[in-house]
């Protein structure tokens, strides 16, 4: 039997702690952030909760899953801040729905993923992100005062973070997002997956997904499917 939609129960308190840390990082980048919550689907109630967010600085989707103590069926977009306030124990009430931003209708496909070769290890990816951050800061400092404006900084950022990683199609901004959100930890196993026009960087602590077609890497195609 599934639990009522208005409440969820995590498998243990650690799941609540990990989700709280993820939400706090999202809110660091956007105090008005919304997240889409999904559990279960056409096949019935599910034993895990998928939480989707979009940190605005990275143009990617961030996905964190949490094990549930009882199966549930849920698909709703809520305030990340309100959810963080409630996720303090293993059981909590789901916040009231909010009008979702456009990205909330753009979720990765549920299946059809295949692993791509060529992804460096986590330590190498972290080093690449650190090098890119240093490059951005150096180039920003070298800008003449008249050119030190948001548009020029954005141009430099797009150039750096759009570079692909090693021999893969994954842009460096995906690794940057994974690092900033606490997913890209030293020594963790990583996988780069693809499904159609989607790419997904998978780690044990969460995933970063982006669509390679369309403006800003995300094409708005409404869907109710869920990434696992």
For 194-222, how does the pLDDT look when each residue is reduced to its tens digit (9 = 90+)? 999 999 999 999 999 999 864 344 433 33
Write down which residue in 171, 189, 207 finishes a domain: 189
Same domain, 32 and 91: yes
pTM above 0.85, yes or no: yes
Shared-domain flag, residues 144 and 96: no
Domain contains 47: yes
Same domain for 49 and 71?
Answer: yes
Q: How far apart (Å, rounded) are the C-alpha atoms in residues 147 and 119?
A: 36
Within a domain: 215 = no
Residue 122 neighbours by CB under 8 Å, 6+ apart: 184, 185, 186, 187, 188, 189, 190, 203
- The parent domain of residue 123 ranges over 115-189
Inside any domain, residue 100: yes
Task: Please check whether residue 186 is in contact with residue 122, taking contact to mean a CB–CB distance below 8 angstroms.
Answer: yes
Same domain, yes or no: 50 and 132: no
Indicate whether 161 belongs to any domain. Answer: yes
- Do residues 97 and 139 share a domain? no
Render each residue's pLDDT in the chain as its tens digit; 228 residues: 444 457 899 999 999 999 999 999 999 999 999 999 999 876 777 899 999 999 988 899 999 999 999 899 999 999 999 999 999 888 899 999 999 899 999 899 988 999 999 999 999 999 999 999 999 999 999 999 888 898 999 999 999 999 999 999 999 999 999 999 999 999 999 999 999 999 999 999 999 999 986 434 443 333 333 333
Q: Are residues 22 and 84 in the same domain?
A: yes
Could you give the number of structural domains in the chain? 2
Whether 20 is covered by a domain: the verdict is: yes
Q: In terms of domains, do 70 and 125 share one?
A: no
166: in domain: yes
């Amino acid at each position: 039997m599934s639990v009522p939609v208005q409440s969820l129960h995590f498998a243990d308190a650690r799941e609540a702690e990990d989700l709280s840390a993820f939400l706090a990082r999202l809110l660091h980048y956007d105090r008005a952030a919304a997240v889409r919550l999904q559990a279960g689907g056409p096949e019935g109630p599910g034993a895990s909760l998928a939480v989707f967010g979009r940190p605005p600085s990275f143009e990617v989707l961030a996905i964190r899953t949490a094990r549930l103590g009882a199966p549930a069926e849920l698909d709703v977009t809520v305030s990340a801040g309100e959810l963080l306030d409630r996720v303090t124990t293993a059981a909590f009430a789901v916040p009231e729905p909010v009008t979702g931003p456009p990205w909330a209708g753009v979720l990765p496909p549920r299946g059809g993923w295949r692993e791509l070769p060529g992804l460096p290890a986590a330590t190498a990816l972290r080093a690449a992100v650190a090098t890119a951050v240093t490059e951005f800061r150096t180039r920003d400092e070298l800008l003449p005062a008249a050119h030190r404006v948001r548009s020029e900084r954005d141009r430099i950022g797009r150039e750096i973070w759009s570079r692909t990683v090693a021999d893969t199609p994954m842009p460096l901004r995906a690794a940057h997002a994974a690092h900033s959100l606490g997913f890209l930890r030293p020594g963790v196993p990583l996988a780069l997956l693809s499904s159609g026009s989607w790419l997904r960087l998978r780690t044990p602590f969460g995933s970063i997904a982006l669509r390679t077609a369309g403006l800003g890497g995300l094409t708005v195609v409404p869907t109710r499917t869920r990434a696992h």
